[in-house]
């Protein structure tokens, strides 16, 4: 079965510099949850188990409720961290080969800008501000 040829357009992006191709330009929470890898699920499970054990060991008078409360806090942290990681993969800031194979590329990709002097980069002004005339600046 032949793969479909995607129609990808490129634009100049001075301030957007992802190292990998963009999969979804604006991923929703539903897209992020559907795009979780097995390692992401294992991370969430490990954090929940660790925080449950922490709450159980340190919550001496009421171990059960303390352990469950710590596990829920661990779940919240793990989900926020995992969703940030998956969103970074969709936006091209982390390695995303699996996502590119599964979902394809976004129709609009940024063109890589060449950095001329990495040691002393020149700041490029926003397009809406006029250039400052330093001769008559007071």
- Whether 138 maps to a domain, the answer reads no
Q: Note whether residue 4 is domain-resident.
A: no
In a domain, 2, yes or no: no
User: Are 70 and 55 a contacting pair, CB within 8 Å?
Assistant: yes
pLDDT of residue 2: 40
pLDDT at residue 1, rounded to an integer: 36
Query: What pTM was computed for the model?
Result: 0.72
Per-residue pLDDT of 6-46, as tens digits, reads 677 777 666 677 889 999 988 999 999 999 999 999 999 99
Domain that holds residue 69: 9-125
Q: Is residue 29 part of a domain?
A: yes
Q: 3 pLDDT exceeds 60?
A: no
The CB-side HSE value for 110 (13 A sphere, CA atoms) comes to 18
Q: How many domains, in total, are found in the chain?
A: 1
């Amino acid at each position: 079965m032949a793969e479909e040829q995607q129609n990808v357009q490129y634009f100049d992006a001075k301030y957007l510099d992802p190292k990998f191709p963009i999969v979804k330009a604006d991923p929703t929470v539903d897209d992020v949850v559907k795009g979780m890898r097995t390692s992401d699920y294992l991370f969430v499970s490990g954090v929940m188990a660790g925080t449950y054990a922490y709450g159980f060991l340190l919550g001496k008078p009421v171990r059960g409720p303390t352990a469950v409360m710590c596990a829920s806090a661990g779940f919240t942290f793990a989900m926020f961290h995992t969703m940030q990681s998956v969103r970074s993969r969709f936006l091209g800031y982390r390695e995303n080969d699996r996502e590119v194979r599964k979902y394809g590329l976004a129709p609009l990709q940024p063109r890589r800008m060449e950095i001329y002097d990495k040691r002393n980069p020149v700041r490029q002004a926003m397009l809406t501000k006029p250039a400052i005339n330093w001769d008559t600046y007071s």
